[in-house]
Amino acid sequence: MMKKTATIAIHNGLNEDTQFGCVVPPIYLSSTYNFLEFNQPRAHDYSRRGNPTRDMVQKALAELEGGVGAVVTSSGMSAIHLICTVFLKPGDVIVAPHDCYGGSYRLFNSQQERGAYRVIFVDQNDDIALKQALAHQPKIVFIETPSNPLLRITDIQKISELAHQQGALVVADNTFMSPVLQKPLALGADIVVHSCTKYLNGHSDIVAGVVICQCQKQLEELSWWANNIGVTSGAFDSYLLLRGIRTLVPRIRLQQENAQALVAFLQAQPLVEKMYYPALENHVGHQIAKKQQQGFGAMLSFELKGGLDVIKLFLSQLTLFTLAESLGGVETLICHPATMTHAGMSEEAKKTAGISPSLLRISVGIEDSQDLINDLQSAFDAATKR
Ligand SMILES: *Cc1c(COP(=O)(O)O)cnc(C)c1O
Q: Residue 374 C-alpha to ligand 1 middle, in angstroms?
A: 31
- pLDDT of 1 above 80: no
Ordered by start, the domain boundaries in the chain are 5-245, 249-385
Q: Which of 77, 147, 341 to mutate to test the pocket of ligand 1 (most atoms within 8 A of CB)?
A: 77
Backbone angles phi, psi at 298, to 5 degrees: -130, 25
pTM of the predicted structure, to 2 decimals: 0.97
Q: Is 173 a catalytic residue?
A: yes
Q: 49-77: per-residue pLDDT in tens? A: 999 999 999 999 999 999 999 999 999 99
* 265 alpha carbon, distance to own chain's centre: 26
Does the 5-245 domain belong in CATH 3.30.420.40?
A: no
325 has a pLDDT exceeding 80: yes
Ligand 1 binding residues, C-beta < 6 A: 75-77, 101, 103-104, 144, 148, 173, 175-176, 195, 197-198, 207, 209
Predicted local distance difference test score (pLDDT) of residue 345: 82
Q: State the average pLDDT over residues 118-134.
A: 97
Q: Can you give the pLDDT at residue 207?
A: 98
Q: pLDDT at position 27, please? A: 96
pLDDT of amino acid 150: 94
- pLDDT tens for 344-368 read 888 988 888 889 999 999 999 999 9
Q: What is the pLDDT of residues 127-178, one digit of tens each?
A: 999 999 999 999 999 999 999 999 999 999 999 999 999 999 999 999 999 9
Q: What is the mean pLDDT of the chain?
A: 96
The tens digit of pLDDT for each residue in 207-230 reads 999 999 999 999 999 999 999 999
**Inter-CA distances, 224 with 30, 228, 355, Å:** 20, 6, 39
Question: Which spans in the chain are helix H?
Answer: 5-11, 52-65, 76-87, 102-113, 127-134, 156-165, 178-181, 216-229, 235-245, 248-267, 286-292, 307-317, 347-353, 369-385
* Ligand 1 center from residue 319 Cα (angstroms): 26
Catalytic residue among 99, 173, 190, 237: 173
| pLDDT of 346 | 85
Name the residue with the closest Cα to ligand 1, atom 5.
Answer: 76
Rounded percentage of the chain residues whose pLDDT exceeds 70: 100
Q: Is domain 249-385 annotated with CATH 3.40.630.30?
A: no
Judge whether residue 32 has pLDDT over 80: yes
Quote the ligand 1 centre to 209 CA distance (angstroms): 8
Residue whose CA is closest, atom 2 of ligand 1? 195
State percent of the chain over pLDDT 90. 93
Question: Catalytic: 198?
Answer: yes
Cα-Cα-Cα-Cα torsion 242, 244, 249, 252, nearest 10 degrees, comes to -140
Q: For residue 34, is pLDDT > 80?
A: yes
Residue 339 in this model has a pLDDT that exceeds 90: yes
The CA 5 to ligand 1 mean position distance, Å, reads: 22
User: For residue 206, what pLDDT is reported?
Assistant: 98
Q: Which helix (H) or strand (E) holds 193?
A: strand 191-195
Mutational test site, ligand 1, from 78, 81, 99, 101, max ligand atoms within 8 Å of CB: 101
pLDDT at 370: 98
